[in-house]
Chain A
Amino acid sequence: MPAPSLREPDDAPPEDGPGSRRRLLRAVLFALLLAALAVPLLGQPYYTKLVARMAIFAIAALSLDLLVGYGGLVSFGHAAFFGIGVYTAGLLPMLGIRQAVVIVPAAALAGALVGCVTGAVSLRASGLYFIFITLAFAEMIFYIAQGLRMFGGDDGFRLPAATLLGGELSLGHPVVLAYTMIGLLLVFIYAGRRIAASRFGQVVVAARDDEGKLRAIGLSPFPGRLLLYTIASAMCAVAGVGFANLVEYVSPASMSWIQSGEFLFMVILGSAATLVGPVLGAAAYVGLEQVLSSWTEHWMFWLGVILVLRVLLLRQGLYGLITGRRGAGGA
């Protein structure tokens, strides 16, 4: 057995991914990154926004992968934290706060707080109960947002002002937004790998694989899981700030259960417990959405069909298609 290395913190046995396939994955990722960086230079707002959208959803999917893939914690309520980020970006400008250095940490903090509280309750349960409870908490937060009548209730409201990076740079500008979100995505990929390789990350992974054994050696999975849940919630809230600036609109729809399901779809489309898999999954999902919606107004129908086919037939995800191996985790 080769020693676990920082480069491959995911726990699929390193030897079953052929080196050439690994290089292929690297090449694909590198090409995608280059493409993502090049597209905004074309000066076509439509494509720039598409790239920004991919990066935003990639962050959300990546954060969910930490839970689903590494923790084996299937959360069906992750969109709640996305929505918390959206509302933070929408509400703070009403207080005159527009600076990203305040809004982004505030969103992360709000996400972390809510994640820590709801996580402390949800993580007492496991398996099916955990799925239902995360869904129910997300629904609760959704209804709270819907109940904010002075902020448009169910209809939401227009983003009062774009988030300012500093000086003249505004996230309301698609190019700035795209590059910012790509930068954050890279930081979060790195952070995700460090988390997976860290001591508490290893404990959480071990708890996923065999909770009984972990308890037998005297370790409780709960603190690690709660920390992971809190971090993932904060990351997803940051993605929400980007989303509010992208669509320039704030509404409860950003935290609907459909959105949570879509995040899970992105994770699984790419394959869980790989970090880059969900990033690929998010990009593919956004691409699919664009292609399908330009082709038919009933694209949601075909998305559902594709989701079913993905689960029933394609069992390894995009990451697996490229590297020839499967991600782990989930249920």
Chain B
Amino acid sequence: MRITDIKTHLPVGLLRLTTDSEVEGWCLGVSEEVARRIQTHYREVLIGADPFDREAIWQELVRLDRYAYVPHTVRGIVDVALWDLAGKLTQLPVYKLIGGFRDRLPVYRSGGNLEKVSEYVEDAVRSKVEGFFGYKDHCKRGPDTMAAVARASRDAVGADFCLMHDAVQQYTVPEAMRLGRTLGEQSYYWFEEPLRDYDLIGLKKLTDALDVPIAATEYLPGSIYSTSQIVGQSAVDIVRASVPWRGGITDMLKIARLAESFGMSCEITSTGIMNGFVHAHVIGAIKNCTFFEGWHLGSLGGEPVIENPLEIADGHVNVPQGPGLGVELNWGEVEKATEVVI
């Protein structure tokens, strides 16, 4: 079994790894820039390779990234297509090929950067009513407003509903420390990206001092090699991982296993590419991730190109059961949305 060609349909963003069999591996969500970089830097490695030599390919692409200054996203997209291909070739859903842990994933709802405290409270309450298992804000109104949001939200949703705060790297250490005390008092489930992911010393200070778990590394470059340095120093309580910013499915599995070895959770960011399909399979194959991250009830999108979009209902997403990542494409729609094939 050999990989024979790499094609990307644009602007629809479908990467196809074709083989000398009928079977292809896919990844959706590919930009023109990424598609060109794949052809420029990776083509030589991929053409003629056995798609089951995934680890050899991963190692080689990591090596090439250093020389060609390729962002992790590019490698991540290729890795996703390789896993899709392996699943289809073995007639197994990707999470079962890895080794399944669960079929059904509890979901929390991510909300936006809203104006007033009362809007956050309403958003949290609505998430609870809609059946989500938790609510995460992206409040960028400063630590004092956020402290008010935390108190009012906890008051409104009661003790048994998970609340998380994602600061997207906006605080100084003293601000994060002060707010972290309040989040701890309000039993927040985690406090995400309080500082820059690079600020190892600051993160460690917070992790040592605060009761609320510190979650970080969603944006950190360096895949497993940088995550290990943060984990090994106990500079976070929870690591974050996602495709494609941190690499591919292989990167996420390695990061999750690294975290597991240290008794840490690896909370997967479910936004990114492929409308939840990739993240559902990864969370389905690991124990140390609590939730799937969703934005609203119903379809996770991708129509009309994706014929079987994932859906959030009853607070859950089901892991797709088809071979590979389980995406069913409408080829008519793919062609309609294709102006050029690279």
Are chains A and B native binding partners rather than an unrelated pairing? no
Seen from chain A, the residues whose Cβ lies within 8 Å of a Cβ on chain B are none
Seen from chain B, the residues whose Cβ lies within 8 Å of a Cβ on chain A are none
